[in-house]
Structure 1
Amino acid sequence: MLVSVLIPLYNSEKYITETIQSVLDQSYTNIECIIMDDGSTDNSLSIAQQFTSDKVLVFTQQNKGASAARNKAFENSTGELIQYLDADDLLHPDKIKLQVENYHKHQNPDILLSGTWGRFTLDKNQVQWEHQVLNKNYSQPFSWLIDSWNGLGMAQPGVWLTPRKLIEKAGPWHESLSLNDDGEFFCRVILQASSIIHVPDSQVYYRSNINTSLSQSRSEKALASELKSYQLYEHHILAKADNIEIRTALANNYLNFIYQFYTDDKQLAQKAEQAFLKLKIGKMWPVGGKRFKQIAKLIGFKNTLKIKSYIKL
């Protein structure tokens, strides 16, 4: 069974060699690696092209964003199973093998396979593995979304091994989203799956704290993308199921958006509040840090937000 590893590449000359090598070092060998350069302005493309072979195919396009690069890479792939991998992240040598073995074991073409991820900066041997509630099997995939939206964990895109048919049913990456595009995409994929099988030793190394993404994430475009992704969550899941548990989890997304970005963009925060109210599940509840929650219980969520504008809570 062929596995396609899809890598969107943009200005990652420092890391792309190690990333590609982690693919070539996989103990599962029936792999093709599709690299889609998204108009890099450094040496990323030329470095990637040095790996060109019958297993590694390198394409390029004008800069359109990571989601567009992933979509184009998928179009050029032929694997029955799809592994997404960012250009600065790494796969454990047995990552794909363990998940493929579990895929065959369950004999269900619509299962989605998850793994374990950890953060590192420069040395993968210093990785900090994420031990979270989500690291388990789910017989009802939408329950994974509910747990995640309630703050019980998240998944870095590389943890998944996804049957091609699930992606074809879910549709392509949303190319207009610049922030949380992975969350929105895998929300749709998860809702198409029959179950989620967690493979604990199937590991991904997530490189973090290497750029100035924090300032970018607070741009107006990025914040609008984040809120849009939450609205799309609501659209996708309520089309499948609707109950108080789901609506509460959706509402929690909006509350966390308000908590995080109230001081950055009050207009978007107001839109998030309106989306919360439309869910009709009652009053806002405190989210965020311990101190914020304590004060919010006394004077209310919105009043505490105003205080947070002036002092750190």
Structure 2
Amino acid sequence: MPKVSVIIPAYNSMTYLPKTLESVLQQTFTDFEVFIINDGSSDNIVEWALQITDPRVRLISQPNQGVSVARNTGITHAQGEYIAFLDADDLWEPTKLEKQVCCLEDNPAVGLVYTWTNFIDESDKPTGVTIVSNAEGNVWEQIVVRDMISTGSSPMIRRECFASVGVFDANISIGEDRDMWSRIAARYPFAVVKEPLTLYRRHSRNTTKNSKKIVHELHQVIEKSFQSAPLELLYLRNRSYGWMNYFAAWSALLGENNYNDAMYFSRQAVLHYPQLRYTLMYVRLSVAIAIIRWLGSQTYQEVRSLTRTMRRLILGIAS
């Protein structure tokens, strides 16, 4: 049996899927199987898959049922001791699987190990955004407030976890990752590989660019997470709603160029979690909203690009 099962849900993803699969096949750790779950695609994925000669790769086709069901199909077929998910538009650095397997082998109590994440654009170029977290061990109180894992392409999970907590909730289309990680965190310690080994692609079809849908779906996830929470931890729910609205504000601002909705979600964020207004992240959001409102999105993008360039130069000089 392979040590790792890699599951790639795919729905009309041929723009990026070949590169995504290539990033798996170039891993330094090679004891794996790959299941590409064709979730009712209308592109040429079947014809493309027929040309794949690597015996570790298998295409499974099913009617369109959403990413949660596609992942669950992969879990059903998986033979590996560890399971890693990879969205069809994301990439992995070559040592990702190797370092995560080593972590799980060295820490038998850990149920999930994730990595840091770099954001890339449609051309594979870094955007300058890196998601960094040092949260390890018992992380339930942290992940139900703010998902530090960031993307479903980051974690590697022991297969036994799914037997313990169940599979992905097919009724959730945004935040299904967070729901699953929260359930695992309630029973298992987490670990992190402190390197950006996951590359999350930002493009026009990202579901996380729809702010109103984010709020609707994450509301379900948050309420579900706190259904059985101890009374002394229920105060975390308002913090969770604060961060939910914070990220919805960014989505409205950058994904939809709608500063009115961004302002609304920004206000909701601090109403739920007043301490947010004192964070640097909230200050950045407020400045971005002001620039776009008064000077336009093009000016903001220019300022943002200049800021990131200066930061990279400073960090480069410092190193």
What TM-score comes out, normalization by structure 2 length? 0.73
CA distance in structure 1 between the aligned counterparts of 2:55 and 2:21, rounded to whole angstroms: 14
Residues 138 and 144 in structure 1, CA contact (< 8 A), matched pair in contact too: no
User: Does structure 1 residue 138 correspond to structure 2 residue 136?
Assistant: yes
**1:154-193 mapped onto 2 (5 Å cutoff):** 154-193=149-188
**1:24-103 mapped onto 2 (5 Å cutoff):** 24-51=25-52, 53-103=54-104
Residues 90 and 205 in structure 1, CA contact (< 8 A), matched pair in contact too: yes
Q: 1:75 to 1:258 in 2, by over 3 A?
A: closer
- Report SS of the residue matched to 1:159: coil
| Shift of residue 19, structure 1, vs aligned partner | 0.8
Residues 25 and 93 in structure 1, CA contact (< 8 A), matched pair in contact too: yes
CA distance in structure 2 between the aligned counterparts of 1:68 and 1:226, rounded to whole angstroms: 18
Q: State the superposition RMSD in angstroms.
A: 3.7
| Shift of residue 105, structure 1, vs aligned partner | 1.6
One-letter amino acid matched to 2:37 = M
Counterpart in 2 of 1:112? 112
Residues 239 and 273 in structure 2, CA contact (< 8 A), matched pair in contact too: no
CA distance in structure 2 between the aligned counterparts of 1:123 and 1:291, rounded to whole angstroms: 26
CA distance in structure 2 between the aligned counterparts of 1:141 and 1:178, rounded to whole angstroms: 23
1:37-67 CA distance string (max 9 Å, x none): 0111112332233226431111101111111
Which of 214, 217, 222 aligns to 2:210? It is 217
Q: 1:42 to 1:177 in 2, by over 3 A?
A: same
User: Does structure 1 residue 290 correspond to structure 2 residue 283?
Assistant: yes
Counterpart in 2 of 1:200? 194
Residues 52 and 58 in structure 1, CA contact (< 8 A), matched pair in contact too: no
CA distance in structure 2 between the aligned counterparts of 1:141 and 1:43, rounded to whole angstroms: 41
| Shift of residue 131, structure 1, vs aligned partner | 4.8
Counterpart in 2 of 1:226? 218
Q: 1:117 to 1:202 in 2, by over 3 A?
A: closer
CA distance in structure 1 between the aligned counterparts of 2:72 and 2:6, rounded to whole angstroms: 13
| Shift of residue 259, structure 1, vs aligned partner | 6.2
| Shift of residue 166, structure 1, vs aligned partner | 1.2
Name the count of aligned residue pairs.
279
CA distance in structure 1 between the aligned counterparts of 2:192 and 2:113, rounded to whole angstroms: 6
Residues 10 and 44 in structure 1, CA contact (< 8 A), matched pair in contact too: no
The answer for unaligned runs of 5 or more in structure 2 is 253-258, 295-319
CA distance in structure 2 between the aligned counterparts of 1:215 and 1:2, rounded to whole angstroms: 32
CA distance in structure 2 between the aligned counterparts of 1:103 and 1:198, rounded to whole angstroms: 10
Residues 145 and 243 in structure 2, CA contact (< 8 A), matched pair in contact too: no
| Shift of residue 2, structure 1, vs aligned partner | 1.1
What TM-score comes out, normalization by structure 1 length? 0.74
The answer for unaligned runs of 5 or more in structure 1 is 295-307
- Report SS of the residue matched to 2:116: strand
Residues 214 and 248 in structure 2, CA contact (< 8 A), matched pair in contact too: no
